[in-house]
């Protein structure tokens, strides 16, 4: 599965990428786990994970992750 992550403010760190992959591999409810793990979580619709920052989406960095 490929998840597109849109993060406002700055690109994903390697730690964030690893955390997202682990959530999808280990969690029975990834939406809730993402909400609890990422400050600025906006939504996950099954294909797109949206994480906002204090800077908003003015500088958004979309990135595809293979899960």
pLDDT one-digit tens code per residue, 1-53: 899 998 888 888 999 999 999 999 999 999 999 999 998 899 999 899 999 87
Q: Is residue 46 a contact partner of residue 39, using CB atoms and an 8 Å limit?
A: no
Residue 44 parent element (H or E): strand 41-44
- Sequence spans of domains, the chain: 2-66
Residue 16 parent element (H or E): helix 14-26
Q: Taking the model in full, what pTM does it have? A: 0.85
């Amino acid at each position: 599965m490929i998840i597109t992550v849109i993060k406002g403010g700055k690109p994903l760190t390697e730690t964030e990428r690893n955390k997202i992959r682990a959530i999808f591999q280990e969690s029975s409810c990834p939406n809730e786990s993402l909400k609890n793990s990422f400050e600025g979580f906006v939504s996950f619709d099954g294909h797109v994970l949206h994480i906002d920052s204090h800077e908003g989406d003015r500088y958004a960095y979309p990135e595809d992750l293979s899960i």
